[in-house]
Amino acid sequence: MSNRLEGKNIIVTAAGQGIGKATAIAFHSEGANVTATDLNDKTLAELNKEYPKIKVHTLDSTDNNAILEFIKDIDKVDVLFNAVGFVHHGTILDCEEKDWNFSFDVNIKAMYFMCKAILPLMVRQKIGSIINVSSCVSSLKGFPNRFVYGTTKAAVIGLTKSIAADFVKQNIRCNSIAPGTVFSPSWQDRVNQSPDPVQTKKDFIARQPMGRLGTAEEIAAMAIYLASDESTFTTGNTFSVDGGVSI
């Protein structure tokens, strides 16, 4: 532990598993005071049991009223890490209006709600860092059967750049991370639910130029940099951590 984030108050969404969990743990290991939120209270309880000093709070990031209630007793937030996301499979012809609405609610509206709620605290502090999880499947690259997912993740990049431009004078930074395919429980679920899990896994790996999946910890490593004072001259950028997919 190098204490790169010592004393920083950080909120992490979707912290129950995958990238969110790995990042919450990484922030904690670097000395931050971490509040981990997730809709799944069971996975949060498991995280808290393993890391008792990480505060946990059950929170639906798509519920603005719940978010506003959550932040009532919060005085200071140095870093907000938005990791909530959902992957819809299919082309535009497979995307019904309900799929479109659900994907936008989870992948972009949740970030809008969280950013809007936390930004006033950062403005008052005159400092802050917001980190949003986008994807290499976005405005960076088109992928087959990821129509609405890619659309929402492109919107995350737009949201990130807009916030960065609007609040740069207030010393508030906003950046996004664009992961490639990362080994996670949600990825494993998608593989297992496919008609041929063995072939699906091979296909996922085959499209990665490095010949392997990423790890949640590799995404967390980039998040540490963006949360730390090492990146104080960095804002409005999207950092690809994708094993070469977007080359």
pLDDT of residue 38: 98
Cβ-count burial of 202 within 10 angstroms (0-12 exposed, 13-18 middle, 19+ buried)?
exposed
Q: How far is CA 10 from the centre of its chain?
A: 13
3-state DSSP assignment of residue 32: coil
Total-model pTM:
0.95
Single-letter amino acid code for the residue at 24: A
3 DSSP 8-state letter: -
Instruction: Please compute Rg for the chain using Cα positions.
Output: 17
pLDDT band at 110 (very low <50, low <70, confident <90, very high): very high
Q: Is the pLDDT of residue 215 over 80?
A: yes
pLDDT band at 1 (very low <50, low <70, confident <90, very high): low
pLDDT band at 199 (very low <50, low <70, confident <90, very high): confident
pLDDT of residue 156: 98
pLDDT digits (tens, 9 = 90+) for 171-184: 999 999 999 989 77
Q: What is the mean pLDDT of residues 135-153?
A: 96
In the sheet with 238-241, reading across from the earlier edge strand, the strands are 55-58, 33-38, 9-12, 79-82, 128-133, 172-179, 238-241
pLDDT digits (tens, 9 = 90+) for 81-100: 999 999 999 999 999 999 99
Cβ-count burial of 233 within 10 angstroms (0-12 exposed, 13-18 middle, 19+ buried)?
exposed
Other C-beta atoms within 10 Å of 185: how many?
Answer: 13
Are the beta carbons of 121 and 165 closer than 8 angstroms? no
Pairing of strands 238-241, 172-179: parallel
Q: What is the mean pLDDT of residues 106-134?
A: 98
What residues are annotated to the active site? 149
Residue 188: CA count within 13 A, CB half-sphere: 6
For the chain, domain boundaries: 9-182+214-241
Q: Is the pLDDT of residue 26 over 70?
A: yes
pLDDT of residue 190: 76
9-182+214-241 CATH pick, 3.40.50.720, 3.40.50.300, 1.20.120.330, 3.90.245.10 = 3.40.50.720
